Structure 1
Amino acid sequence: MRILHFEEGGSPGIAADDGSGWHGLTERESGFPGTLPELIAQGADLLRTGRDLLPMRALDLNGIRILPPVPKPPKILCVGLNYDDHLEESGLKKPVYPEIFARFATSLIAHGEPIRQPRESFTLDYEAELAVVIGRSGRRISRDRALDHVAGYSLFNDATIRDFQLRTPQWTMGKNFDATGAFGPWLVTPDALPPGAHGLRIQGRLNGRVMQDASTDRLIFNVPTLIEMISVAISLEPGDVIITGTPGGVGAARKPPVFMQPGDVFEVEIEGMGALSNSVHLESQEEVPR
């Protein structure tokens, strides 16, 4: 089941698709169960919610505004260097412990919204990634129970300002420019995928050209392992998002480097989950908060 968080006519809505098309409603309509972020926070049964939505009115995705599955996650925990081929192109050794860094909600955008190239840099890089949305709280979660804490999966482009990222050993600045973290288009419930979203083909395409092509079975630290290792230190809460890392083929590692430019379109596609697509534009003066 795919569950969509959207806005129509200024009202939040929720929709579901089991392969027969999108059906849903907004909060103005009778039977509205709540928004997707609200339901995740409540620990609701999303598969049941999706089934309840299927008899509702058909939805044209072209007539609505798609929102990130969780626009303001309590935490966004990203994993660096989690595919062997990305390690090789980076010239680094295989880690024995995951490289964890944080993103913030101010960096998030939805499917179809433009990624902003900041005026301070021209090193805007792409990173196709699998996103895991937590649906149940826990601390020191065992690996064999880790997937019980997953609400669903989504797609992510961890777009990065490389020169800012590499200015210091900490990656926070380069990973958190406004409007660089594309997230969506929807949440896929765990029943629709292999356990831990394992063994799914993941691609990143720049203007239709395949730049990244791998499988999630190549993750060095897979989804249950990440949940177990992160939750040793950090309590996971409903709505938290874990971004699991990117395969090889990033622009900075190419010779010559290939960075995203205004007018480009980058797509992340994961087998059985769909595609996330975002254009790139140069940040204007009006988009810079004062």
Structure 2
Amino acid sequence: MASSAPFKRLVRFVPRSDSSKVLIGQPEDDNVDVGVALKKGQDVPVSIFSGSSVLSPGQDTGKSAIIDRVLSPLAKSEVGTIRCIGLNYKQHAAEVNMSLPTVPTVFMKPDTSLGDPWPAPTILPTLTQQDDCGDYESELAVILGKTAKNVSESEALDYVLGYTACNDVSSRTSQFAQSQWSFSKGFDGACPIGPTLVSPSVIPDPSKLHVRGIKNGDQVLQDCGTDDLIFSVAKLISFLSQGTTLPAGTLIITGTPAGVGVGKKPKVTLREGDEFAVEILPHIGTLINVFENEK
């Protein structure tokens, strides 16, 4: 079972001591919010693991390193096709005046949409800039640790390697012009995740987390518990695995709570220079992204 993993929280990072290396490790302080600490310029020491991937992290080597730059927990080559769930919070369905779905709404993002936390820039495509339609979606993300197919709901959480934070960056004009959302949400870098991957041994019940979306440090735009999910994490894994092989490394993003920019009056958008933070507590911490225009 994935819950027996030998880690509490993992980060994938470039160490200050050698910019040519990418390491896997566990923050030495269980309570540090890695994203916030790094944005403040604080040192985050990490116990280095022997593996080169969160999918096979190995063991604590007894060595330590300071994070220079934190990366997405998964590399693009590991993530495959990103499975995404639309309209999966009761309050979000209410704000967009849609009835609750009876089955999960699924769309896909390509691996090229995977993005890193700050300091890597998150790019607003030229298409999004044309009419100022960039939007945020704070989400809980799930990474599978072993191949799943035709999994029952009762066994689904056994396949979870860990949980992290995600921003399902969206281009609303393109989204509303089509019935399919993969194009409007699949631009390069439009799925930043991280910075920490938290073991199910630390989060045995993913319905007991709290998600906030915060723009520019002080504007709380989303604020909701994961107990508001329409379809639970276990239900989503089971549903997505029916007739479908979900390899280890599969990334599932579970939907966004109420408070998206397009639903605000007046609407809120993402522009160059904006910072957006996805905070998921306890344990996961804060994914911070700063936006730049595609040149």
Whether TM exceeds 0.5 here: the answer is yes
- 1:28 maps to what in 2? none
Alignment of 1:105-184 (within 5 A): 105-112=111-118, 113-121=120-128, 122-184=132-194
What is the distance in 2 between the residues matched to 1:219 and 1:18?
32
What is the distance in 2 between the residues matched to 1:205 and 1:138?
34
Say whether 1:79 aligns with 2:85: yes
- 2:196 maps to what in 1? 186
Offset at residue 159 of structure 1 (A): 0.6
- 2:12 maps to what in 1? 5
The 8 Å contact of residues 28 and 47 in structure 2, kept in 1 or not, is answered as: no
What is the distance in 2 between the residues matched to 1:259 and 1:183?
20
The 8 Å contact of residues 6 and 65 in structure 1, kept in 2 or not, is answered as: yes
The 8 Å contact of residues 96 and 263 in structure 2, kept in 1 or not, is answered as: yes
What is the distance in 2 between the residues matched to 1:22 and 1:198?
30
| Alignment counterpart, residue 206 of structure 1, candidates 215, 230, 247 | 215
- 2:45 maps to what in 1? 22
What is the distance in 1 between the residues matched to 2:230 and 2:243?
20
Say whether 1:91 aligns with 2:88: no
Please report the RMSD computed on the Cα atoms of aligned residues, expressed in angstroms. Answer: 1.5
What is the distance in 2 between the residues matched to 1:268 and 1:153?
13
The 8 Å contact of residues 201 and 214 in structure 1, kept in 2 or not, is answered as: yes
Offset at residue 22 of structure 1 (A): 3.5
The 8 Å contact of residues 141 and 251 in structure 2, kept in 1 or not, is answered as: yes
Say whether 1:35 aligns with 2:72: no
The 8 Å contact of residues 47 and 63 in structure 2, kept in 1 or not, is answered as: yes
TM-score (norm 2): 0.85
Offset at residue 179 of structure 1 (A): 1.8
- 2:73 maps to what in 1? 69
TM-score (norm 1): 0.87
Q: Deviations over 1:109-161 (max 9, x none)?
A: 11102221112222110000000000011211011111110000110000101
- 1:283 maps to what in 2? 294
The 8 Å contact of residues 144 and 161 in structure 2, kept in 1 or not, is answered as: yes
| Alignment counterpart, residue 267 of structure 1, candidates 259, 277, 289 | 277
Offset at residue 36 of structure 1 (A): 2.1
What is the distance in 2 between the residues matched to 1:146 and 1:280?
35
Q: Deviations over 1:12-41 (max 9, x none)?
A: 21111253563234xxxxxx622124xx1x
- 2:227 maps to what in 1? 217
The 8 Å contact of residues 135 and 269 in structure 2, kept in 1 or not, is answered as: yes
The 8 Å contact of residues 2 and 18 in structure 1, kept in 2 or not, is answered as: no
Q: Which runs of 5+ in 2 are unaligned?
A: 1-7, 31-43
Question: Counterpart of 1:60 in 2: which secondary structure?
Answer: strand
Q: Give the count of matched residue pairs.
A: 264
The 8 Å contact of residues 268 and 276 in structure 1, kept in 2 or not, is answered as: yes
The 8 Å contact of residues 68 and 110 in structure 1, kept in 2 or not, is answered as: yes
Q: Deviations over 1:52-107 (max 9, x none)?
A: 24x322x322xx22111112202210000000111111111000000000011111
- Residue identity (%): 36
- The residue identity in structure 2 corresponding to 1:127 is E
Q: Which runs of 5+ in 1 are unaligned?
A: 26-31, 285-290
Question: Counterpart of 2:214 in 1: which secondary structure?
Answer: strand
